[in-house]
Amino acid sequence: MDRTIIITGAGSGIGRATATAFLEAGWQVGLIGRRQETLAETADGDERALILPCDVGEAESVESAFATASGKWGRLDALFNNAGIGSPSRPIDETDVGIWLDVVRINLTGSFLCARAAFAWMRAQQPQGGRIINNGSISAHAPRPGSTPYTSTKHAITGLTKSLSLDGRPFDIVCGQIDIGNALTDMALPMTKGVPQPDGSMRAEATMDVGHVASSVLHMAQMPLDANVQFMTVMAPKMPFIGRG
């Protein structure tokens, strides 16, 4: 049987590009997202794509989606915990509490719930094991101005990655993280026009093709379970991250 992966946030951007790469590589791919129509666009009629409408921030919705995939496949080889949202660039005292709660619900709670479901499935299957790949961010290392909700969740994703890496050892469940910088998606389009910088200026930033993210995640997922990419950073090399200013 083809190898299997569930990808969250598969209706657009990094999720869609990654799902397409895995389908082209012959994997069975579960597509998780809130909108059936965008997931269908990602699937593009491929019979190996399994559309799983789901709100990753709702425990019952996640359990239902994973149960559907389990009934279809029987085995799960990988999860790409990709779903996430950003927030308006504002200092903390101007950040609406509702926005904070939304970002935490999708970026952090959603990743926890999907990892929890995948971990339980991988632990119970025979032979045991599988791989969880979390989508971190350059913001898991260095924040942008006015990004308290997003940056906080991405730092927390690193903690989730490390915890899963330890907890998975007895069951051959490995976990790695890909930290992405300025992949050109709709979410990153403002980077090409001008975004706030630490010195108070607004400047455009370099971007990279999202396909480089997809191929990197595929590389991580294809490794045998006795090897792991613990952390990978894939970024536009001219974006402001390395160095000062």
Q: How many Cβ atoms are within 10 Å of 199's Cβ, its own excluded?
A: 8
In angstroms, the CA 29 to CA 220 distance is: 16
Q: CA distances (Å), 155 to each of 60, 135, 192, in order?
A: 26, 11, 25
Q: CA distances (Å), 191 to each of 2, 42, 186, 188, 228, in order?
A: 38, 24, 10, 6, 31
Residue 52: which of 13, 9, 82, 81 has the closest Cα?
A: 9
52 annotated active-site: no
End-to-end Cα separation, the chain, in angstroms: 51
Catalytically annotated residue among 50, 79, 150, 179: 150
Residues annotated as part of the active site: 150
